[in-house]
C-alpha cells in the first residue's frame, strides 16, 4: 500500500493553489505495471478532492474577511460576481483539474457556494481527468 501513497499525496498537492503535476507518477505506475490502476485512480481523485476542499476553505476564509470589512470590495460588485458565478460559472468547477482553474474553487468558497454543490462537481471533473489516462 505504501507504493500507492505518492499518488494520493501528489494529487492533494496538485489540487492546491501551488502548481505541480501528479500525472508523471500516474503514468509511471501505468507504464511499469504491477499496479491495480483502480487504486491509484481512486486515490488520485480522493487526494485531488482533498486539495480542492482546502482551496474552497481558503475562499471561505476570504469571505469571512470580506464580511468583517477587512477586504475593500463593494457590496454591489461582490453580489454581482456571486450571482454571475452561481448562475453561469458553477459548472466550470468540472474543469478544476486544469492548471489555474483551481482558483475557481477558491472563488466558489468566496461567493458562498455550498459544499454539497462544489464537491460532486470536483469529483466528477477529477474522475474524468484521471479516467482519461486509463484509456
| Full DSSP string of 70-135 | -S---HHHHHHHHHHIIIIIGGGGGGTTSTTTTHHHHHHHHTT--HHHHHHHHHHHHHHHHHHHH-
Question: Domain extents for the chain?
Answer: 5-134
Note the pLDDT of residue 11: 76
Show the low-confidence residues of the chain (pLDDT under 70): 1-2, 14-21
pLDDT at residue number 97: 87
Q: What is the pLDDT of residue 71?
A: 85
Question: Whole-model pTM?
Answer: 0.85
Amino acid at each position: 500500500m505504501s507504493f500507492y501513497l505518492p499518488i494520493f499525496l501528489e494529487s492533494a498537492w496538485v489540487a492546491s493553489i501551488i502548481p505541480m503535476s501528479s500525472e508523471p507518477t500516474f503514468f509511471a505506475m501505468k507504464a511499469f505495471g504491477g499496479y491495480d490502476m483502480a487504486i491509484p485512480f481512486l486515490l488520485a481523485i480522493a487526494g485531488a478532492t482533498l486539495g480542492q476542499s482546502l482551496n474552497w476553505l481558503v475562499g471561505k476564509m476570504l469571505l469571512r474577511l470580506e464580511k468583517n470589512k477587512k477586504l475593500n470590495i463593494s457590496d454591489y460588485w461582490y453580489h454581482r460576481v456571486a450571482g454571475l458565478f452561481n448562475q453561469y460559472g458553477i459548472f466550470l468547477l468540472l474543469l478544476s483539474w486544469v492548471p489555474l482553474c483551481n482558483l475557481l474553487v477558491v472563488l466558489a468558497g468566496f461567493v458562498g457556494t455550498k459544499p454539497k454543490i462544489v464537491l460532486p462537481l470536483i469529483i466528477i471533473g477529477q474522475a474524468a481527468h484521471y479516467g482519461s489516462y486509463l484509456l
